């Protein structure tokens, strides 16, 4: 099937983009060939897990904390529920408030430097939160808008196609279908699928320091 990640932009800065076309990552075990990546930005990325039930300790909303606008800067989140580094599942229409503190630290500079779609401009040594997202149109085309809000402390956003249960760690992966945005107080990603088959993505929120954030996904058909 064909899948297209059209764009991802961070409001804080515009980074070097890359376009990856029609090449199936070596670690893709679905037997399908991913489409293309047309990226505007380049930084954070994230791992993979295969969890279909959201057991993370997240909230959908909440009052804004000091300096956080509509994000609760004191929001907390439970330990990653797995498998591997995945903290939970995010679905169309979901809003997750969480905190990168208490997440995993598998995704670091070595990951970003070895993935062909990310251009690291900062150190990403702090812990990250990673969520599984399945884009499923049920046979019909579907789009998804992914929005990150991080007014409490700058964070980056990464979206990439991944099918393995274990998350990538360091440079032990061959990710070529990905897109990312450098750290800032907000970022957006737009995904498109023909809907012929479900597409599994991992969405990572990462930075050089831990902070609270809000992550939202809205889908349209």
**pLDDT of 175:** 77
Among 211, 28, 62, smallest CA distance to 124 is for 211
Average pLDDT, integer, range 9-33: 34
> What is the tens place of the pLDDT at every residue in 54-66?
433 333 334 444 4
Q: What are phi and psi of 198, to 5 degrees?
A: -65, 140
Q: Please determine, for residue 19, whether its predicted confidence score (pLDDT) is greater than 90.
A: no
Report whether 175 contacts 47 (CB < 8 A): no
Among 160, 216, 218, 207, smallest CA distance to 185 is for 207
CA dist., res. 141 & res. 68, Å (int): 36
Percent of the chain with pLDDT over 70: 66
The structure's pTM equals 0.69
- For the chain, what is the mean pLDDT? 72
The architecture CATH gives domain 3-51+80-220: Sandwich (2.60)
**pLDDT of 52:** 35
> What is the tens place of the pLDDT at every residue in 199-209?
999 999 999 99
Average pLDDT, integer, range 149-167: 90
> What is the tens place of the pLDDT at every residue in 174-216?
777 777 788 899 988 888 889 999 999 999 999 999 999 999 9
| Secondary structure class of 112 (helix, strand, coil) | helix
CA dist., res. 35 & res. 212, Å (int): 33
Q: Please determine, for residue 104, whether its predicted confidence score (pLDDT) is greater than 50.
A: yes
Split at pLDDT 50, 70, 90, the class of 72 is very high
**pLDDT of 120:** 62
Q: What is the 3-state secondary structure (H, E, C) of 151-164?
A: CCCCEEEEEEECCC
**pLDDT of 69:** 57
Report whether 173 contacts 114 (CB < 8 A): yes
> What is the tens place of the pLDDT at every residue in 143-153?
999 999 999 99
Which of the two residues, 161 and 31, has the higher pLDDT score? 161
């Amino acid at each position: 099937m064909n899948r297209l990640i059209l764009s991802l932009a961070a409001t804080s800065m515009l980074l070097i983009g890359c376009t990856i076309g029609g090449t199936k990552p070596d670690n893709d075990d679905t037997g399908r060939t991913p489409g293309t990546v047309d990226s505007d930005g380049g930084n954070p990325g994230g791992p993979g897990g295969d969890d279909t039930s959201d057991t993370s300790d997240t909230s959908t909303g909440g009052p804004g904390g000091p300096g956080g606008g509509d994000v609760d800067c004191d929001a907390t989140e439970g330990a990653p529920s797995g498998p591997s580094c995945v903290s939970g599942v995010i679905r169309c229409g979901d809003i997750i408030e969480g905190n990168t503190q208490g997440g995993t630290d598998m995704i670091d500079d070595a990951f970003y430097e070895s993935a062909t779609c990310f251009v690291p401009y900062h150190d990403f040594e702090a812990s990250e939160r990673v969520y599984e997202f399945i884009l499923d149109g049920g046979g019909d085309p579907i789009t998804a808008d992914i929005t990150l809000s991080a007014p409490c402390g700058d964070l980056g956003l990464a979206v990439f196609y991944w099918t393995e249960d274990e998350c990538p760690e360091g440079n032990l992966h061959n990710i070529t279908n990905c897109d990312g945005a450098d750290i800032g107080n907000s970022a957006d990603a737009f995904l498109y699928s023909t809907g012929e088959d479900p597409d599994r993505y991992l969405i990572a929120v990462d930075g050089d320091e831990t902070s609270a954030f809000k992550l939202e996904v809205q889908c349209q058909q």
